[in-house]
Structure 1
Amino acid sequence: MWIERIAEATHWEPLRLDIPWNSVEEDLGTPLPEDYKKLAETFGKGEFSEFLRVFTVDATRQFDLVRIWKKFLDGGPESGPDPAFKPYRMYRPGQRGLIPWAFGEMKCSYFWLASADEDPASWPIVTQGDPYPWHEVNMSTSEFVCRVLTDPDFEPFSIARLFPEPDFYPMD
């Protein structure tokens, strides 16, 4: 439902990409939320309203979810909070932590608070950006993206007032 709303709002024709999720999930050590996978398969690599870039499997590696996660992971401690993400830490297989799934303009970062022991559909979305501090939001990835793009009352996340006609720019 939410993905269809995003496609309709952005006037996007779904791509139905075949993405090798098994290798991604093997690298991460956990399955990913199904609605996120469908979002990536529907839109591919690109940018929503010149603001939000959702990571996926990217041969150029620029917006590759696993590469970006590993980059964050490389500099962090193996246990305890990570000073760069306090009070959180990056996800490591077998532990609870953040997996980045998107970033936005104005230094906004979007993560799941992931655990291999929990259903990925129940993972909260954790965000941080200028000017707001860490927030946890309990909704699906696609609902979050849809509301960021189309709901002017979805504060402090919405860009609907800035971009009343949301769009999607593919990046090949």
Structure 2
Amino acid sequence: MIELTGWKPLGISVDWAAIKGELGVPLPADYMALCEVFGGGVFSDSVYFLGRDEGVLFDFLTQWRVSLSVDQDSQYGDVSAVDPYAIHAPGGKGLVEWGSTEWADEYCWLIDAERPGDYPVLARSHDGGPWHRYDISTSEFLYRILADADFQPFGIAQYDLGTTFKPGSGGRPFDGRPL
């Protein structure tokens, strides 16, 4: 990903033990490396990557907490935004979102506390269709989205958007103006 984007690693320090404690499971090693290199932000002006970010917009943990809160809110009944799954709760099995697109495609891991180390990527396109399962790493999935025009329905390489990265630090828009 570094070579693909021409990005200079940020070397972000993240307290992964605290995150593991809150989630109840460790995160994929390649995802943690991506976070330390990129932080949170946007690839190719359209693929949103949730990392650890001082703002809330691209902060993985903040987004997970909000999703879990909504998913567990009894006022919505038994309906889940990630049906037929649920949002991962500590000690359970469910989805944790790590990315999306400007078109509302969703990229998640299916995390099972009883199977730590197993992180299939589940992706769903903006039309709310079925979830697609990929037994590949987060970084390979992200690479294929950006560089493989034949990676359908999620590949964006055919749109010739380039392979750039813009950090989302502080939750500010990319032109630096406050929200």
TM range (shorter): 0.7 to 0.9
Whether the 8 Å CA contact 1:82–1:88 is kept in 2: the answer is: no
Whether the 8 Å CA contact 1:81–1:88 is kept in 2: the answer is: no
Give the gaps of 5 or more residues in structure 1: 1-5
Distance 1:19 1:111 in 2: 20
Instruction: Report what 1:163 is aligned to.
Output: 160
Q: Share of identical aligned residues, percent?
A: 36
1:14 maps to which of 3, 9, 12: 9
Give the alignment's TM-score, normalised by structure 1. 0.88
Instruction: Report what 2:54 is aligned to.
Output: 59
Aligned-CA RMSD value = 2.0
Instruction: Report what 1:43 is aligned to.
Output: 38
Instruction: Report what 1:3 is aligned to.
Output: none
Whether the 8 Å CA contact 2:40–2:59 is kept in 1: the answer is: no
Cα deviation, residue 77, structure 1: 3.8
Distance 2:168 2:160 in 1: 19
1:154 maps to which of 151, 157, 176: 151
Q: Aligned pair count?
A: 166
Give the alignment's TM-score, normalised by structure 2. 0.85
Distance 2:32 2:142 in 1: 13
CA distance change for structure 1 residues 63 and 37 in 2, over 3 Å: closer, same or farther? same
Give the gaps of 5 or more residues in structure 2: 170-179
1:92 maps to which of 69, 89, 94: 89
**Farther off after superposition, 61-70 or 97-106:** 61-70
Whether the 8 Å CA contact 1:46–1:169 is kept in 2: the answer is: yes
**Farther off after superposition, 140-149 or 154-163:** 154-163
